[in-house]
Amino acid sequence: MLGLAKFAATLRKMGVRLGTSEVLDAALALSAVNIEEEGQVKAALAATLAKSPEERALFYQAFKAFFVPPDKKKADIQFLMERLAEERENIALAEGELLFQGETLDLSSESKEIYSRLDREDKDRLLEFLERASAGKRVGPAFKPLIESIVEGHLERMRSRISDIQTHLPRSARTGDPEVDAALMQAVLSGPSDREKLLTEDIASVSEADLVKLETIAKDLSRRLATRFSRRCKRSARRSAIDMRKTIRANMRYGGVPFSLRYEAPRIEKPSIVVISDVSGSMIRYTGFLLQFLSGISSVVKNVEVFIFSEDLERVTDIFKEGETFSETVALLLSRTSQWGRGTDLGKALHTFRKTYGALCTRKTVLIVLSDGKTMARESARKHLEELHSNVRLILWLNPLKQEEWRKVPQLQDFRKYSKMFQSRSLSDLERIMRTEVLL
């Protein structure tokens, strides 16, 4: 039973949602099957502990890592211990190196770990900064907290550069129990599932071969989102007030005795969506996927209008309706944009949009801007955005840039005043934004 509790802890850390009642069920199930047959044990645990195909994949991974012969288990624990010892050494080393005026900086263990994993070059750069900071005139010990927060922030940004993060058991995933941690470590080593990886991968860096898979996932996600939303509309439509006029009319033939009741069906308000999308360079892929996603949920939105821009704006709603697959959509987009130069001018694009298609903006419109914000004519873009902001329900800005990099593009701060800006690099980003912002 202790083994079962530990296995449950492993599953929880891997992201399977488990309550006590499930673990109890698993215990009951185990007492009902033949413990000596691995197949039965596995099936019994799977039936009680993993309750979706995604969880099922995690379950099999955990099962493989956790239920191993004793020798292997010993070796796994040994491996974990070595890793932890190595990590402690690294942290001690980092403490020895990261000094401010001869004193060790008070940093989180995570940051120290990140530091120990950096390239020599990056380390040296950081050390050089510390040295210069320590030697500065009128710099006293009072500056230490400031320096600490700078270093901490810097290391946090460097996190993405660490290549071997896959072979490392994150601190938040540890339980302190060697058996559980060793199994988790093995599970981490075997890597995330394909689907999970694709969901969170930057759309622009997905390989051609994986694009089809990603497209299938996008379809699946958007379909589920659409069903969920339509259900919600239907639910509010039912069980509403009795429509007296219709009821009386329908029951005239029964001498006014209300035999059959008629209900009022409230009108369902669906949002209409206007997309203004940047298609310069690598942005075209993000646009392609956004359009694919929108076509998946088009049954639950009133109307979708699509515009693309780079130097100027063009209406491409027909592409949205015609392009059935991702590759078709991208090919059509490319054929439209080939005549353009390189410049990106959001200001001009918004100007054209307001002048020609201003009527599309109503209080029910969600305006989606997909762009990294690197544009000419910032001031005019800002002004148009401000005006549009008061005309539509919401301006959603999907930004393929990482959130950490936003501050390098100063105009984004201005644009954010008038729009809700989200990092939108991967499919899971896209799905979350659609779920929480568009289909309320």
Q: How far is CA 215 from CA 55, 86, 329, 335, 430, in A?
A: 22, 41, 12, 21, 13
Q: Tell which one of 72, 171, 223, 402 touches another protein (CB under 8 A).
A: 223
Task: Map the footprint of another protein across residues 266-325, applying CB under 8 A.
Answer: 324
Q: Tell which one of 4, 6, 12, 51 touches another protein (CB under 8 A).
A: 51
Residue 380 near another protein by CB under 8 A:
no
List strands edge to edge, sheet with 394-399: 313-315, 303-309, 272-278, 365-370, 394-399, 420-423
Residue 34 near another protein by CB under 8 A:
yes
Rounded Cα–Cα distance for residues 83 and 70 (Å): 20
Which is closer to another protein, CB of 123 or CB of 213?
213
Size of the site for another protein (CB under 8 A): 43
DSSP calls for 343-408 = ---HHHHHHHHHHHHGGG--TTEEEEEE-----S-HHHHHHHHHHHHTTSSEEEEEE-S-GGGGGG
Shortest Å, Cβ 226 to another protein: 9
Residue 228 near another protein by CB under 8 A:
yes
* Residue from 156, 135, 143 nearest 105 by CA: 143
Which is closer to another protein, CB of 165 or CB of 212?
212
Handedness of CA 360, 362, 365, 370 (dihedral sign): positive
End-to-end CA distance of the chain: 44
Rounded Cα–Cα distance for residues 162 and 160 (Å): 6
Task: Map the footprint of another protein across residues 242-261, applying CB under 8 A.
Answer: 257-261
Q: Tell which one of 64, 174, 213, 262 touches another protein (CB under 8 A).
A: 213
Which is closer to another protein, CB of 46 or CB of 189?
46
Rounded Cα–Cα distance for residues 260 and 47 (Å): 46
Rounded Cα–Cα distance for residues 275 and 357 (Å): 12
Q: What are the beta bridge partners of residue 350?
A: none
Residue 327 near another protein by CB under 8 A:
no
Scanning 34-42, 79-87, 272-280, 389-397 for contacts with another protein by CB under 8 A, the matching segment is 34-42
Task: Map the footprint of another protein across residues 8-27, applying CB under 8 A.
Answer: 17, 19, 21-22, 25
Q: Tell which one of 83, 168, 174, 224 touches another protein (CB under 8 A).
A: 224
Which is closer to another protein, CB of 200 or CB of 216?
216
Residues that bind another protein (CB under 8 A): 17, 19, 21-22, 25, 28-29, 32-34, 37, 39-40, 43-44, 46-48, 50-53, 56, 212-213, 216, 223-224, 227-228, 230-232, 234-235, 238-239, 257-261, 324
